[in-house]
Amino acid sequence: MKRLALILLAALPLCARAQDHAFSVDADYLTRGEIRRGGISVEEDGDALHSRFILSRTRLGATYSRDWLTARLTAQHADTWGSAAGNALSMNEAWVKAQFPVGLFAQLGRQRLSYDDQRIFGADDWSMTGYSHDGLKLGFERAGHKVHLFGAYNQNVDNIDQGGTRFSGGIQPYKSLASLWYHYDIPKSNIGASLLFVNMGLEYIDFKEDTYATCFQQLAGTFLSWTPKHFGLEASYYHQWGKANGNIPLNAWMASAKATATPSEHWSFRAGYDYLSGEEDFPIPGGGNIGLVRHEIVRGFNSLYGSNHKFYGAMDFFYVSTYVNGFTPGLQNLYAGISWSPVKPLSADAAIHFFSTAAPVQDAKKALGHEMELEVTWTILPSVSLSAGYSFMLGTETMSILKRSADNNRLHWGWLMLNVTPTFFKTRW
């Protein structure tokens, strides 16, 4: 015991000896104009479905570090051009991080969680607000091993007199969150393996007891990758159980596989398949209105805080919004894509998806349709990029029944985006 105390006392001066300070100020300005017909949900056909708008997001960040301590603040404002009722100025990041010897660290405050391919936890920078979480992260990173333990407890107000209050949601809708992520890179093999466990508490109304209660749901799974020089393989599997949607038993799962090939620095090819489970025999009464049915068990997989735009089609029909009351028929996504970079500052990407539901849909087929995507990016400067994209989806009658497209099922989406990420000031002393 005496020897351990001496080791810890000797380690403290190592954290504070150098007195090396650094400070920087940076920004992230994103503007995207969109013209879309359909997407997310559709109520009627006609010209009214053509939406035109310009989105903008501005982030201003500052980072200070001194030897073992790092602090980060990022203010954010996201809005639609011309809107008087947009999002107020908020904090996207506000954390402090202490780095200890032998690879240990602790990070406290509002922070982003991004793991593996961002399928469960991701920054989701395509959206205007992105994902961030208030909590404490403890970690260890050394010799190819990474272990992150994250915990959060959310509340609307600090109600001292009455104890706990109803949590109606803040930057995230969960009441509590605990996650454990472990990753290991096998030396000299280009193989990486991750394990993820999540326990999330969601508040709901208990009508029998006439009070608020918290139900808990769990997720566990793995992500595997093998990335030799000119090709790569990825696979993942996640299972969910516990309670969801107001204390209903949950049993859902998803699996994915992806292969990539990069024969040269100018070309890259990819193909893959995603399966996300859904409610069995998903009910749709006449007229296209999705029925309210008593579910004995929830089978629709919840992708939690993943960067869904990255996986399930650029037009964001799936997993950006739910179908009704959190229930979904699930999704199958078979896709292929190609990337081409003729010169260093210019790149182009094309992809095609075939979508279908995972579970049968009453009085309808599983097939949802084909989506084609094109994107071109020009890196004008290291901190300035201009991108443009166009997507077209030829949907089926099932897409129309699920209120995801109009009667003719021809959906278009075009966008033009400017992203500027300058560093205004940087110094060290």
Here the CATH number for the domain that contains residue 89 is 2.40.160.100
Q: Flag whether the pTM goes above 0.85.
A: yes
Question: pLDDT tens across 151-166, in order?
Answer: 999 987 766 555 555 6
User: What's the confidence (pLDDT) of residue 408?
Assistant: 62
The answer as to whether 172 is a domain residue is yes
Q: Per-residue pLDDT averaged across 327-347, rounded? A: 94
Question: pLDDT tens across 301-311, in order?
Answer: 999 999 999 99
3-class SS at 207? coil
Q: With 60 as the cut, is the pLDDT of residue 7 above it?
A: no
| φ/ψ (deg, to 5) at 13 | -60, -30
The answer as to whether 12 is a domain residue is no
Question: pLDDT tens across 369-397, in order?
Answer: 999 999 999 999 999 999 999 999 998 88
User: What's the confidence (pLDDT) of residue 284?
Assistant: 61
Q: Per-residue pLDDT averaged across 105-118, rounded? A: 97
The answer as to whether 14 is a domain residue is no
The answer as to whether 7 is a domain residue is no
User: What's the confidence (pLDDT) of residue 27?
Assistant: 97
Residues pairing with 135 in the sheet: 109
Question: What is the domain range of residue 355?
Answer: 19-428
Question: pLDDT tens across 241-299, in order?
Answer: 999 877 789 999 999 999 999 999 999 999 999 999 998 877 664 444 444 556 788 89
The answer as to whether 257 is a domain residue is yes
The answer as to whether 189 is a domain residue is yes
User: What's the confidence (pLDDT) of residue 19?
Assistant: 65
The answer as to whether 70 is a domain residue is yes
The answer as to whether 224 is a domain residue is yes
Structurally, how many domains does the chain consist of?
A: 1
Percent of the chain with pLDDT over 90: 61
pLDDT category of residue 4 using cuts at 50, 70 and 90:
very low
| φ/ψ (deg, to 5) at 50 | -80, 110
Q: How far apart are CA 230 and CA 264, in angstroms?
A: 8
User: What's the confidence (pLDDT) of residue 168?
Assistant: 66
- Report the half-sphere exposure of 83 (CA within 13 A, side-chain side): 13
